[in-house]
Chain A
Amino acid sequence: MTETRSLPAKAPEADKLLGPLLAHGVDFVLIGGQAGISHGSSYPSYDLDVLYARDRDNVVRLVAALEEIGVRLRGAPKDPPFVLDARSIENGANFTFITPYGDFDVLADAAGMPSYAELKSAAVEQEAFGHLIKVASIDHLIAMKRAAGRTKDKLMVEEYIVIADEQKRLGKANE
């Protein structure tokens, strides 16, 4: 099947998407291209991806945050409308949304990821936009990009390996 490539109308505004998640206390980890950028990648990213914990309380908090952001399913017919509530989130897993602040992918599962607990445990906390955000480790990002396997992912893996090397070098220099 030939993939029709397209771009979103605009790049995601990370602060506008992550702010409500943090304000509502959602348990999540930033992954994907934005996580790569946060680690130092130079590749542009056109959506924002997070992995979220699937427990009921967290799903309820996630729904409140998504209501505040304003989301609708990307590319889905408007009729029947998507009902944003805890049950819809629990009945699904991965949701690709369009929002006023850009494309936003809210995922329970991603190829190449370990368990959510392991991913979260290895995540690094980075201060961004006045908040502490959990960002998937560069090693887990490499594993997920390897599993995705698209040409652009393979290119990004090469860069992420360089970043991992550079991080280790800087870490040693700072010791």
Chain B
Amino acid sequence: MRASTTQSAISRIERDRVSPSVETLRELLYLLGEDLELGALRRDSGIDRTLNARNLVLTATERLDYGMSFANQVIANSPLPRREAW
């Protein structure tokens, strides 16, 4: 059995010159006795969803007030230089 592609195309894949299509990859793997299995996982972005869920329970006023307090706390404790005040 042969893959329905050319030897030169396979050579380009082997030399990492081109990335095969999913269908070509599926066929090549099939010829090697393997099945291609694709999947999708939720990206781990490091975001704590519970924080956002908690914020969404608050009103917009409460969110903005809390945000201001939090930012002021960061400013008070940051070693970074301060810009001019009014």
Contacts and interface: CB of A to CB of B under 8 A. Distances in A.
Interface stretch (A11-19, A49-57, A81-89, A108-116): A11-19
B12 interface: no
Given A9-B75, A14-B64, A37-B66, 20 more contacts: A6-B81, A7-B74, A7-B80, A7-B81, A9-B82, A9-B83, A9-B85, A11-B71, A11-B72, A11-B75, A40-B56, A41-B67, A42-B48, A42-B51, A46-B75, A75-B83, A126-B60, A158-B43, A161-B45, A170-B56
A8 B61 CA distance: 22
Interface of A: 4-15, 34, 37-38, 40-42, 44-46, 70, 74-75, 98-100, 103, 126-129, 133, 135, 158-159, 161-163, 166-167, 170
Nearest to A127: B60
B61 A128 contact: yes
A35 to B, nearest CB: 10
Contacts of A5: 80
Given A100-B86, A166-B52, A170-B56, A44 B61 contact: no
Nearest to A9: B85
A44 B56 contact: no
Given A11-B72, A13-B68, A166 B49 contact: yes
A70 B85 CA distance: 13
Contacts of A4: 81
Interface string B42-69: 0101111101110110111101101111
Interface of B: 43, 45-49, 51-53, 55-56, 58-61, 63-64, 66-72, 74-75, 78, 80-86
A14 B74 CA distance: 17
Contacts of A10: 72, 75, 85
27 contacts: A5-B80, A7-B83, A8-B75, A8-B82, A9-B83, A9-B85, A10-B72, A10-B85, A11-B75, A34-B64, A37-B63, A38-B60, A40-B52, A40-B56, A42-B51, A44-B70, A46-B75, A74-B83, A98-B83, A100-B86, A103-B83, A127-B60, A128-B60, A129-B61, A162-B49, A163-B52, A166-B49
